[in-house]
A = this chain, B = another copy of it.
């Protein structure tokens, strides 16, 4: 009588490479075999590795971030068959809990190098950087970003059901057209990639097919959700996921201890390995009954609470850092909003990279404000002031009548050869640049804070 421990539907190992673990895979494809069957109505635990499959270490160098192998990501756990699920149904996924492993109470936030992954601000901050976070219960702190502590709004970055062959074909065609038309000097999408494709327990034949056709896990997609990176999709949330194949073939991974809206540095959440507890229910014919083209969700009731009156909001508009006017471009506006916040926090002693990392993973609110006032989209970014152990409010500065006193903020981890101060790439904006057209990487001799030297 009574409940015993909840069944674990899939276990991962920290001793075996992710690429060899049978319960993992890193592509979306309908032919990847299910690793386990879950009952309709059942609650199970599912273990997950971190999204890179263990490529990032708990140390003070960002060389691992700089050298990350992107062909391997994301390692997801699954797929799982849910009894009775069929195309046209909805899979109601209720996230009962997410926890780090008890003996691995840490995670990482990285700034990917511009030429290997990049991020939202990589034109300005091109170097690799990293912050390691320690978990104590609900809280995270980092030796790389001092004077900050916050409760995790813990969640999976990725969850979704496998695409059907038709859906997969649509994805590949749609994204292929974008790639074909690309004139930017950067990747705009990632086509199927056989290298390092992992298809779980698939046969060699299937694995080869998955490598050729399988969709990369990097983008979220409207038909199934996937890598949505929704920071509030946390404990207690109910997600309604369209089912495209028999059994649903549900996968999950990319666990985040915390994330800010936008996850701006790409490796931007507090990435971690951990355990997610999920209840599954099949809603027959749910796609039609609810009229869903994309997933919907209802957050859980236990989000960290910050009073609106304790949240500092920055405003940004679609005029870029070079002074160019863009037409109703929310992406540009949000980038500007994040820069405004960096400029503000910089005055307390943090380096730009520390703030870039922090805004990626702390529970900041990124809002679309006005989107109809041509030509300027306006967005806001809400920064909870209570995550700092000193007073960042403008009232303090306003009262004192002077600029804030800088604290000793140490430094985040950098790739070899990059200093830790407030260094940025060159650019027209003199406040951002070293000036003189010097490149960033050439400019640094050693890792002593504040002694950035340029050649």
Contacts and interface: CB of A to CB of B under 8 A. Distances in A.
Contact of A138 (B96, B137, B151, B308): B96
A393 interface: yes
B289 A403 contact: yes
In the assembly, how many copies of this chain are there?
4
A12 B143 CA distance: 33
Contact of A293 (B227, B228, B343): B343
A334 interface: yes
A236 B139 CA distance: 8
B220 A317 contact: yes
A306 B305 CA distance: 9
Contact of A240 (B219, B329, B378, B394): B394
A2 B59 contact: yes
Nearest to A108: B2
Given A228-B315, A314-B296, A290 B394 contact: yes
Contacts of A227: 370, 373
B325 A178 contact: yes
A322 to B, nearest CB: 11
A294 interface: yes
Interface stretch (A79-87, A263-271, A447-455): A263-271
A43 interface: yes
B1 A291 contact: no
A7 B358 CA distance: 28
Interface string A8-43: 000000000000000000000000000000000001
A193 interface: no
Which 7 A-B pairs have CB atoms at the shortest separation, nearest pair first?
Answer: A97-B137, A96-B137, A229-B370, A2-B58, A330-B330, A366-B368, A219-B376
22 contacts: A6-B105, A92-B398, A96-B137, A96-B139, A119-B372, A137-B277, A151-B235, A177-B325, A182-B327, A187-B374, A220-B315, A221-B376, A222-B319, A225-B315, A232-B313, A238-B395, A264-B372, A290-B394, A290-B397, A294-B315, A305-B308, A367-B367
